[in-house]
Structure 1
Amino acid sequence: MNKNTKKILALAFMAIFIVSTVSVAFLGGGRVATQTQKPTDTTITGTPADNYPDAKRATFCETGPAQSTKYITEFKIPTACTQPLAIMADSTGAVWFTESNTGNLGKFDLTTKSFQEFTNAQWQKGEKSMMWGLGTAQDGNIWITDSQHNLVWKFNPVDKSYQRFAFPKSDTSEGSFPQMLLIDGKNAYINDFTGRKIGVFTTDHIGPDLGMTSIPSPGNYNFTSSMVTDSAGKIWYTIWIYQQGGSLVSYDQKTGNFTQYSLPQDIQAPNGITIDTSGKLWIMDTASSYFFDFDPASKKFTKHTTSPPPISSYGNASGLIKTPISRPYWNHFDDKGRLWFNEQVANSLGVYDPASQSLVEYVIPSKNPNWSDCGVGQDCGVAQLLDFTVDHNKVWFTEWVENNIGVLDSSVALPISVTSSDDSIIVHHGQNVTVSLDISPQEQLSEPVSIITSNIVGPQTLTIKPQQTLVTVGTPQTVKVTISVDNFAMPGTYQVLAGARYQDVTVSKYINVTIE
């Protein structure tokens, strides 16, 4: 694939998965791919910001200093406009991240709160690449994917050296796009996002190439998602065409056999995938506000929803956004069995607890207004939280357009607790039922809480409406929520979400509604 094709592909990829509903900043000329000429109207600073013209620097580099809340602390990367992307924590607690605008690997020491950035001497000045994949091998070496150049890099933390390897090219018209990286024992797996394959190699391989084995994706789908391995060593991933369906794939590495499960029609862009201790697969849909679990035993998919995005993330200055979505992207389980995921255009991190059927969402403090419909609004936008990693109670993340890394401390007490009178209800066609939502303050609140609701189906099936939208919670309060079922609703079990939003935190409960 030539560089011009790469540029078009990168732009299309970002338009689908990074640009929010109304953003014109990226479509107006921003690129992730290589620029062969220096942009015009550029003030030379001697930093990676020089890869963008002055008019685009606020969009792609940063709009302000690092911010903090009670739950989240951000740290500004010393070098300007590095565009941090992949992130991980090693066994010592150090945090590593890729710099997609420099080709370098960065390291953050939590004890000293200091950064180190390791120069990649093989990287050509002015180059950019979406470096999504990052992982540590058993021997301590760090592996990185490089989508723009069809490369995989190995970084030796001892001598600070980089070694590059060619990623096998694909014969598809879109070419190859090495994206996410999974290291399981000595095996490393990389999904070729546009090349219709999974690449596998051993991290202790010695030689001029990776010795990679390619597992072709079945069918004729455009995209191959990230992957996860189960306890039996099977590889699970999704293959799909944007908004046109796809399959969940299980590949048995011992037999070479594929098993495919058709994805529900309302999964449009299944990116993140992970697995829980029971063997359930969890899939994030980046084109909606939904995420799904799949039980291999029953072969059943179950649909879940996030809360509606806070208006601070999308702004809606134009009034054109009628149904804002959160776009959940990647996902990881913590050591408490909770599912974490980034809500890219809601500028939030969410954590779903399957045991309590609850959801907590934290808004990221930094916001870049150039990626949202902010108008002249203040405190509006998204920082492009594109990757994160979970390390016990700490959740580390990158802010691609604010040049920050951040950490969320999930051990910090929440400002409110939310419970519901019913976890499951049965409703008949044309009827409604009232559920009580109990909200208790866990600290002194300085303002009312907003009651939020969300639904996995449209009003032609059921609606959920709170009797109050703003509630002062100086003492425990009960809010009545009415769930109404349409006369012609299809029978089945559906999930609704009801909760309360206080400043930068939303606490919600799921209720299963069975229509008979």
Structure 2
Amino acid sequence: MDEDGPLAHLRAGAPGGQAARGDRLPSVVAIRRWWLPRLLLAFLLILSACGCSSTATGQPPVAATTTVVPTLISQPGALPALIQTATFHEYPLTRHAEGDMLMRPALDQQGRVWFGVMASNRIAMFDPRGASWQTVAPPHGRGGLMGLIVAPDGSLWFAEQYANYIGHYLPSTGRFQLYPLPIVTAPDPAHKGKQLTLPVAPNELLMDRQGLIWFTEMNADALGRLNPATGELRQYPLSAHHTVQQLNPYGLASDAHGNLWFTESSQNRIGYLDPHTGTITTFSTPDPGAMPMEIAVDQQGQVWITTFAHNLLLRFNPSSRQFTRYYAPTPDGSSGGLYGLSLDRSDGVWVTVAAANALAHLLPEQQRFLYYLVPTASSFPFGVAVANRQQVWFTEAGANQLGLLTLA
């Protein structure tokens, strides 16, 4: 592997301004405390409260298989949730360390599972065919590897928040191409009248039908677009002013018309960008303080959103501009929120429910959730990806494991 991989030049696109070179970025360590995403702070607090821990290991992966006994749980005013019988396999990440934080998984054309390991800044790949692991460290990483997608050609695109670049990795050659991002300035909340210099903090990304890479910029309150063929970067601001006290935008998805849907967590809004006109339209969610996180669009054009604070799964109908609320109950009535979100081929909706230590499958027609409890206690199920109708992959951020749910 070429640790230093070539750095790509960016041509500044309106209105983003001149992009900074990756090796000239200011020190992020000194300012990280001010702009660390609130999701990760909440994530660490939850892990601390549940007493999760892990230790470094070099042992080969071992799969634990567990069958869950069905039990019915219900709450007043909530959708009934039936805990289902299912088979789980759990694969401990090799060479993991405490607080690694496994991010959202992505599946490639060979059925392999890829995801970022944030704290140690590695890309991990698990191959189910031989139950084998591979990891690789991107160049110049600073412990902030977040979103990751698999392109149609099998290459990987990923977002480096702290190092402030979009990365492209070719597994076949082991080479990286890096695309440095601009920096932004914002008022320093601790020192009146002073400014902080910050990375734009890329978070989630996707590839559109033209092969353009879109991503959310949390510190810049903007969407970014990268043209891999030319290296051109363009930014679409969502607000006129930047502040480190916001977490905007976060999740990202596209619909059949090419619109880019996003969540604005601190503003409790969702919205979409029409890339043809540059027009941005936003909608306030029905629950203040819910913190919308992940977002996805189904085959019918319905927009689904997880919320991190209120145990709510939201559905938004773009035609009627109306929200439908689905409250995800937990066995003890606790509130831990939903994060991971994935749609299967029949538009079934899968989410991770951290407080319940479970995956949940929504059946909208039956007005209920099917719950699948993760065998490892306090595993903090985080990201989720549906392979097919029988298999659902998920990351266990609190246990440093990759999980596989196999339906009967």
Match of 2:65 among 65, 68, 71: 68
Residue 91 of structure 1: CA displacement?
0.9
Q: Is the 8 A contact 2:341 2:383 kept in 1?
A: no
Aligned to 1:193: 218
Matched to 2:404, the amino acid is V
Cα distance in 1 between the residues matched to 2:45 and 2:184: 27
Cα distance in 2 between the residues matched to 1:165 and 1:188: 11
Helix, strand or coil: the match of 1:278? Answer: coil
Aligned to 1:334: 344
Helix, strand or coil: the match of 1:401? Answer: coil
Q: Establish whether residue 397 from structure 1 lines up as the match of residue 394 from structure 2.
A: yes
Cα distance in 1 between the residues matched to 2:96 and 2:156: 24
Q: Count the aligned residue pairs.
A: 342
Q: TM-score, normalised by structure 1?
A: 0.61
Greater relative contact order (Cα 8 A, min sep 6): structure 1 or 2?
2
Residue 341 of structure 1: CA displacement?
0.9
Q: Establish whether residue 23 from structure 1 lines up as the match of residue 23 from structure 2.
A: no
Helix, strand or coil: the match of 1:93? Answer: coil
Helix, strand or coil: the match of 2:31? Answer: helix
Aligned to 1:217: 238
What pairs with 1:361-372 in structure 2 (closer than 5 Å)? 361-367=371-377
Q: Map Cα deviations across residues 324-382 of structure 1 (whole Å, 9 max, x no partner).
A: 11310131210122001111232211111223333111121222xxxxxxxxxxxxxx2
Specify every segment of 5 or more residues in structure 2 that has no aligned partner in the other structure, as ranges. Answer: 1-25, 68-86, 188-195
Q: Is the 8 A contact 1:286 1:328 kept in 2?
A: yes
Residue 197 of structure 1: CA displacement?
0.6
Cα distance in 1 between the residues matched to 2:93 and 2:43: 24
Cα distance in 2 between the residues matched to 1:213 and 1:196: 13
Cα distance in 1 between the residues matched to 2:164 and 2:56: 28
Cα distance in 1 between the residues matched to 2:238 and 2:66: 43
Q: Map Cα deviations across residues 201-225 of structure 1 (whole Å, 9 max, x no partner).
A: 234x25xxx4221111146682212
Q: Establish whether residue 275 from structure 1 lines up as the match of residue 285 from structure 2.
A: no
Matched to 1:74, the amino acid is E
Q: Is the 8 A contact 1:135 1:142 kept in 2?
A: yes
Helix, strand or coil: the match of 1:345? Answer: coil
Aligned to 2:360: 350
Cα distance in 2 between the residues matched to 1:80 and 1:90: 23
Residue 60 of structure 1: CA displacement?
5.4
Q: Is the 8 A contact 1:337 1:353 kept in 2?
A: no
* Distance verdict in 2 for CA 1:283–1:69, change over 3 Å: same
More deviation in 137-146 or 7-16? 7-16
Matched to 1:280, the amino acid is Q
Q: TM-score, normalised by structure 2?
A: 0.76
Residue 237 of structure 1: CA displacement?
1.4
Specify every segment of 5 or more residues in structure 1 that has no aligned partner in the other structure, as ranges. Answer: 26-57, 312-322, 368-381, 413-516
Helix, strand or coil: the match of 1:14? Answer: helix
Q: Is the 8 A contact 1:17 1:286 kept in 2?
A: no
Cα distance in 2 between the residues matched to 1:253 and 1:226: 17
Q: Is the 8 A contact 2:164 2:181 kept in 1?
A: yes
Cα distance in 2 between the residues matched to 1:353 and 1:24: 30
Determine what percentage of the aligned residue pairs are the same residue: 21
Cα distance in 2 between the residues matched to 1:385 and 1:167: 31
Cα distance in 1 between the residues matched to 2:48 and 2:348: 32
Q: Is the 8 A contact 1:85 1:387 kept in 2?
A: yes
Helix, strand or coil: the match of 1:4? Answer: coil
Helix, strand or coil: the match of 1:19? Answer: helix
